[in-house]
């Protein structure tokens, strides 16, 4: 893996595959030694980009990543990304995107990661209770303090990305240099608006779940018993085969598996290469739990899909279509809270 791509307009060069660390810790691989071995193998393969979050395994993922980088002595080689927003305690201010919490959370992440700076600090989800200027102001101060180098967003709708840039321009604040949206062969909704906005504003896109949470690994096939996993238990709306959206995903996977075989590829290679072909995408995040998972995904960075294959994909899952709404990663409060759609009687 020799190719590097520039993250937006930053000049920062990252590998097309980003090592996602969500599965290191209690949510996946509980051994720090095995996690360290997997991280070391990824670095040896040419990956220079690691993404985690404070909320992953309650901070354990950050600790495992920090341990691996300290043991390898390769911190300076790595573009290290983490995130803030998720619930990290019982208190009402131990979550969200407020200045108070961001300042506390970044210190916690720096300690767990064992580093003096974070290359990319991302807001994990929008926070309807916090104005974007509050969030960008806090992040700007952290950049000026040298604790973070760049700031990004994750799973923001297109209009909130635009609003963030307007706010940055108005106030002279640092801007989001990248967005991290869900994107895969089965989750193509961001092609309609988020990815065009990313391109328009010169941002990078670091896409999460390019294997659709395991759906595009070959483990989910018609007539086969679906695998059990903690993720499926945690997010049944994305895996319950009795739901129409998941049945549509299963049908699409069958057709995509046939296409991959005809193209001489594994389904994993087809899926990862598809996301990397989009001109807005800088990197695709892979999230291996085992060494075998990692090895099966590494070769995809060198796969180039032909236009004929891409046309076939468009026939199976049309551009801009997300087969199951539960895969979007975030639903705006206007859809989840009926009170926001109804005037008082």
DSSP string over 203-216: -EEEEB-TTGGGTT
d(CA 7, CA 80): 13
pTM (2 decimals)?
0.95
SS3 345: coil
Res 54: pLDDT? 98
In contact, 149 and 118? CB cutoff 8 Å: yes
Specify the pLDDT at position 289.
95
Per-residue model confidence (pLDDT) at position 90: 95
**Cα separation values, 165 from 120, 141, 204, Å:** 17, 17, 14
- Two tokens at 158? 């297109």
Where does the chain show beta strands of DSSP type E?
Answer: 5-6, 13-14, 17-20, 49-51, 79-84, 118-123, 148-154, 176-180, 204-207, 281-286
Residue 79: its pLDDT value, please?
Answer: 98
Domains annotated for the chain, with CATH where assigned, are: 5-337 (3.20.20.100)
Report which of 99, 22, 90 is spatially closest to residue 53, judged by C-alpha positions: 22
d(Cα 12, Cα 76) in Å, to the nearest integer?
13
Length reported for the chain: 345
Which of these is catalytic: 56, 150, 183, 239? 56
Residue appearing with tokens 């590494």: 298
Q: How high is the pLDDT of residue 1?
A: 61
pLDDT number for residue 235: 77
Q: What pLDDT does 240 receive? A: 84
* 121 is an active site residue: no
One digit per residue, the tens of pLDDT, for the chain of length 345 reads 668 999 999 999 999 999 999 999 999 999 999 999 999 999 999 999 999 999 999 999 999 999 999 999 999 999 999 999 999 999 999 999 999 999 999 999 999 999 999 999 999 999 999 999 999 999 999 999 999 999 999 999 999 999 999 999 999 999 999 999 999 999 999 999 999 999 999 999 999 999 999 999 988 887 777 777 777 777 778 888 889 999 999 999 999 999 999 999 999 999 999 999 999 999 999 999 999 999 999 989 899 999 999 999 999 999 999 999 999 999 889 888 999 999 988
């Amino acid at each position: 893996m020799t190719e590097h791509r520039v993250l937006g307009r930053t000049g920062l060069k990252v590998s097309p595959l980003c090592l996602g660390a969500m599965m290191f810790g209690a949510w996946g691989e509980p051994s720090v030694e095995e996690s360290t071995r997997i991280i070391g193998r990824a670095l040896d393969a040419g990956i220079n980009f690691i993404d985690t979050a404070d909320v992953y395994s309650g901070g354990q993922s950050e600790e495992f990543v920090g341990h691996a980088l300290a043991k390898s002595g390769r911190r300076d080689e790595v573009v290290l990304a983490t995130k803030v927003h998720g619930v990290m305690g019982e208190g009402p201010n131990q979550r969200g995107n407020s200045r108070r919490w961001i300042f506390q959370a970044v210190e916690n992440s720096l300690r767990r990661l064992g580093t003096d700076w974070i290359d990319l600090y991302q807001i994990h989800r929008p926070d309807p209770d916090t104005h974007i200027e509050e969030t960008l102001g806090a992040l700007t101060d952290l950049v000026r303090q040298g604790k973070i180098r760049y700031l990004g967003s994750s799973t923001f709708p297109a209009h909130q990305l635009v609003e963030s840039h307007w706010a940055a321009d108005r106030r002279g604040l640092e801007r989001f240099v990248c967005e991290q949206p869900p994107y895969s062969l089965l989750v193509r909704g961001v092609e309609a608006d988020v990815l065009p906005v990313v391109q328009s504003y010169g941002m990078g896109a670091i896409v999460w779940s390019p294997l659709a949470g395991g759906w595009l690994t070959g483990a989910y096939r018609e007539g086969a018993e679906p695998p059990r996993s903690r993720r499926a238990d945690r997010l049944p709306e994305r895996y319950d085969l009795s739901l129409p959206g998941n049945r549509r995903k299963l049908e699409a996977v069958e057709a995509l598996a046939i296409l991959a075989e005809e193209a001489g590829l594994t389904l994993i290679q087809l899926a990862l290469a598809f996301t990397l072909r989009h001109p807005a995408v800088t990197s695709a995040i892979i999230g291996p739990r085992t060494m075998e998972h990692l090895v099966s995904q590494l070769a995809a960075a060198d796969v180039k899909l032909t236009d004929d294959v891409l046309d076939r994909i468009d026939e199976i899952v049309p551009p801009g279509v997300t087969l199951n709404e539960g895969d979007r990663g975030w639903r705006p409060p206007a859809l989840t809270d009926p009170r926001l759609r109804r005037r008082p009687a």
